[in-house]
Amino acid sequence: MSDIKAQLEQMKNLQRARFHELDTQRNAILAVSGPIRAERDANIDDLTPRQRAEYDARIKEAEQGLYEIEVERGELARALRGPDGKTRLRPA
């Protein structure tokens, strides 16, 4: 029985590690797309439709895979929820 408990705790630690790995990937993507979004948003009232479309295409390319990362992070956060509904990203 204690073996199973130990394995479950190990699995939780693996999920935490994966969450942090995804966090790093997400931050790397946002480090590229964030400045493009900021530049577009700062000039949004002055952009022609073509310029806007060019910005949107650059953002889309930079953020490929980001949604999937956010979904997996959400799944891990839900899986790691404790009885009080909170998720802890550090081992208890």
Looking at the Cβ atoms of 12 and 87, the one nearer to other proteins is 87
Residues that bind other proteins (CB under 8 A): 30, 37, 40-41, 44-45, 56, 59-60, 63, 66-67, 69-71, 73-74, 77-78, 86-90
- How many C-beta neighbours within 10 Å does residue 19 have? 20
Closest by Cα among 52, 51, 58 to 36: 58
| Nearest distance, CB of residue 6 and other proteins, angstroms | 22
| Nearest distance, CB of residue 1 and other proteins, angstroms | 29
Token pair, residue 82, equals 């404790």
DSSP 91: -
